[in-house]
Structure 1
Amino acid sequence: MLLTKYVHACVRIEDDQKSVLIDPGCWTAPEAFAGVRAVLITHGHRDHVDHDLLAAARKADPALEVFAPEDVAAELGDGVRPLAVGERFEAGGFAVRAVGGRHAQVIDNHPDCPNLGYLVEGALYHPGDSLHVPDEEVRTLLLPTTGPWLTMRGAIEMVRAVRPGRVVPIHDHYHSAAGRENFDGWLDGEADARYTRLALGESTRLD
């Protein structure tokens, strides 16, 4: 599989004729949708789903599949497939399982909204805004790196709990260059996994 990193939490996964885009939020360039077969949305926050951008992509390609938690699917309207925790389905040719269920909280139960993580081909895991640890092997973890609900300790503990072979940081648009360097130094030393930061638009082959 080929993984391409876009802004913040948005990534694209491709393998021959298979393709899926995950979490095209408000900073995503329209070019990220080019030729993609399906879109997965983890939750309804604007940095993970841009309604206007998604509507334009669906208008340009009526065959584009879109999958989202039930509340987000209702907001996006007809043609969006609603998902629940535990569902197994096919998106863009890939086998996917929806896991997790709730957004990680900052304080006092806020925010409290649905959040689905996605396991793609039993190999790659995108957790959205969640620290949920799935109950199966993960070869590549897309690790959130910054947000009001996240600490450095929480990120490291998630990696140690998931025990992936490889970690690729995402959810990083709020980080300064110094913040990224600091985070990368900690994770490279403490995660006990191959740690690879991708530049915007950069791709890498997954094992």
Structure 2
Amino acid sequence: MKITRRIHSCVEISDGDTTVVLDPGGFGTPDNLAEVDAVLITHIHPDHVDADALTAARATNPELRIYGPEGLRELIDADYNVVADGDTFSLGSLNVEVRETPHEKIINSKELPENLGYLFNDTVLHPGDSMAAIPDMEVVLVPISGPWLRMLMVDEYLAAHRPKRFIGVHDGVDNDNGLTLRGGLLRQLAKDHGVEYLPLKPGESVEV
């Protein structure tokens, strides 16, 4: 599998002739959104789903498959595949398992949507806005910034679950100073816990 970082939590995963995009959100969507085989949405916060861009992509490519939680109906005027915890489906050579875990709390008064994680070929996990736990994963796309997150959460997550490798996502709110500071801390955490940090910038890729 090839993993390409896009913007914020948006990630492209390809295997053979199959390409999927996860969480193309309001901070910026990939130029090839209408050309991929499928789009997967973890939850309906606007930084994870750009409803206008997704609707336009489906209009351009009626064969584009969309997967997401029930609440996505509130945002897009297009048919899509509603998925929930425990569901499995295949996209070409990609086998996908849906894992629901609660969205991390932001503030006490803010209601939170259903949050779905997606596990690809038992190898790569995108947890949405959750520090979802599957011990000893090959690669986890770990949230590293946001209004609900402290770096201590990343520290504790790596200590408890020890993925072999991790890629930081959900950093679209950081400026250059924050990205530099956070990158240094992530490299230190990787050293502390004996895991590999893959510091992908938007547009960069890695094969796993």
Q: TM-score, normalised by structure 2?
A: 0.91
State how far apart, in whole Å, the 2-side matches of 1:55 and 1:131 are: 29
Q: Which residue of 2 aligns with 1:159?
A: 158
Indicate the SS of the match to 1:175: coil
With over 3 angstroms needed to count, the CA separation of the structure-2 counterparts of 1:73 and 1:88, relative to structure 1, is farther
Q: Which residue of 2 aligns with 1:29?
A: 29
State how far apart, in whole Å, the 1-side matches of 2:147 and 2:32 are: 26
- The one-letter amino acid of 1:89's match is F
Aligned 1:38-187 pairs, distance under 5 A: 38-73=38-73, 75-91=75-91, 93-108=93-108, 110-134=110-134, 137-187=136-186
Bigger Cα displacement from structure 2, 187-196 vs 84-93: 84-93
* Deviation of 1:78 (Å): 4.2
- C-alpha deviations, 1:77-104, integer Å up to 9, x for none? 4421111112111235411111133211
Q: Does 1:201 align with 2:200?
A: no
Q: Which ranges of structure 2 fall in alignment gaps of 5 or more residues? A: none
Q: Which residue of 1 aligns with 2:18?
A: 18
Bigger Cα displacement from structure 2, 77-86 vs 42-51: 77-86
State how far apart, in whole Å, the 2-side matches of 1:30 and 1:178 are: 25
Q: TM-score, normalised by structure 1?
A: 0.91
State how far apart, in whole Å, the 2-side matches of 1:3 and 1:79 are: 27
Check whether the contact 1:100–1:130 (CA below 8 A) recurs between aligned residues.
no
With over 3 angstroms needed to count, the CA separation of the structure-2 counterparts of 1:32 and 1:143, relative to structure 1, is farther
- C-alpha deviations, 1:88-126, integer Å up to 9, x for none? 112354111111332110232634221001111111111
With over 3 angstroms needed to count, the CA separation of the structure-2 counterparts of 1:203 and 1:34, relative to structure 1, is farther
RMSD (Å), alpha carbons: 1.7
State how far apart, in whole Å, the 2-side matches of 1:30 and 1:132 are: 25
Between Structure 1 and Structure 2, how many residues are aligned?
Answer: 205
- C-alpha deviations, 1:127-155, integer Å up to 9, x for none? 11111213x64211111111111110011
Indicate the SS of the match to 2:119: strand
- The one-letter amino acid of 2:163's match is P
State how far apart, in whole Å, the 2-side matches of 1:28 and 1:78 are: 20
- The one-letter amino acid of 2:123's match is A
State how far apart, in whole Å, the 2-side matches of 1:61 and 1:34 are: 6
Q: Which runs of 4+ in 1 moved over 4 A?
A: none
Q: Which ranges of structure 1 fall in alignment gaps of 5 or more residues? A: none
With over 3 angstroms needed to count, the CA separation of the structure-2 counterparts of 1:127 and 1:10, relative to structure 1, is same
Identity in percent: 36
Indicate the SS of the match to 2:141: strand
State how far apart, in whole Å, the 1-side matches of 2:150 and 2:6 are: 22
- The one-letter amino acid of 1:46's match is P
